[in-house]
Amino acid sequence: MLVIVAPGQGAQTPGFLTPWLEDTTFASRFEWLSTVADLDLAHYGTEADAETIRDTRIAQPLLVATGLIAALELFPHPADAFSQIGAVAGHSVGEIAAAAGARAITAEQAMVLVRERGNAMAEASAVTPTGMTAVLGGDRDEVLAALAAQGLTAANDNGPGQIVAAGTLEQLQALADEPPAKARLIPLSVAGAFHTEHMAQAVGRMATLARSVSTHDPRTPVISNRDGQIVHDGREVIARIVGQIARPVRWDLCMETMSDLGVTGILEMPPAGTLVGIAKRALPGVETFALKTPDQLDDARAFCAKHGEASMIETTPTWMMVVSPMKGTFHRDAEAAEVGILAPGATLGDVASSRDRAAIHAPHGGQVVEWLVEDGDLVSPGQPLVRLHPEGAA
């Protein structure tokens, strides 16, 4: 099982794009996305200094554009990608790249969304001086207690031994003055307290824009930052990306889902390194590949071929699937079990685990062709639950 992941803000470094732009095809595609974003991203990725590309309005479009074009270099024929990738995930703004890679939205829609996301988050950051600090090591409960004592948010929960605190600069300084035992604090090169209440005004702006975005159900399961659940409804993918601006990133739960899926290989898109580093600690035995420069592309393709297999979701014009968002026990709704045609949004039941319970709906409705699981069955993330024939289809 191969999972492709896209990094979030803070992964960028000065000049990281230089070797990629030596390829004329990459450069022309990158120029197109730069035009959509209305930014000279080639300049920012090759010549700008660290402080300049720290700007949220620059960093976010730069990261998403790089991930999207690098994906086309890795998989020149998109059909090859869908036959190998089991799931995709992105950390924070990387979710936009993941959504476009899974074909929930187009690359152009992704660039408009990330441009406006960066602008909205920069405006929200300007209201109050805020920031983020990585807390490495220490006892998890003690770290969380220390954050709570200073009024800070655990904005990124990246797995064992890595939590990112976010809040005002005064709150972060107070944490630095009284750090948790056996923990190391590293201030991050970001411009605000992302994924906290300080970003609430950005959520409102993005929610308004998102209502006009046309979506498709993703061709590949998308693992959500909110709770690690598999999302296979295009509208929900976008809604979660918008809401996540002011909600903590639960990358720990994303990795838990990867483990449940049976991942054997994780490839991180450029500028790579951060997420595979986390995976090496949290998912021992899983092979990783950090795609940093174009001279690695042949090795990266070999890595994908070694671990690749198509996801359990098979998208065709005739059939539609409703899939499980997570690992757990499926409980079928009694009414849904008796009807032959499901209305759009109909409840199918839920999946329950020791951690959570998720309601299952049929977003588009349709005629029930076949239940693929029974009431009480154990299911995996992304496992098809029912096969539907869309109403009105020939």
Residue pair 115/158 in contact by the 8 Å Cβ criterion:
no
CA dist 301 and 35 (Å) reads: 29
Is 195 designated active site?
yes
> Residue 114 has what DSSP assignment?
H
- Distance set, CA 45 to CA 165, 270, 271 (Å): 27, 12, 10
Q: Is 216 a catalytic residue?
A: no
The backbone torsions φ and ψ at residue 368, rounded to the nearest 5 degrees and listed phi first, read: -75, 115
Q: How far apart are CA 67 and CA 57, in angstroms?
A: 17
**Across the strands, what pairs with 65?**
none
Please tell me which residue in 195, 232, 307, 361 is annotated as part of the active site. 195
From 34, 91, 92, 224, active-site residue: 92
- Residues 188, 165: Cα–Cα separation, whole Å: 10
Could you tell me which residues are beta bridge partners of residue 73? none
Express the helix, strand and coil content of the chain in percent, nearest 5 each. Answer: 40, 20, 35
- Which helix (DSSP H) or strand (DSSP E) does residue 184 occupy? strand 183-187
Q: Mind telling me the catalytic residues? A: 92, 195
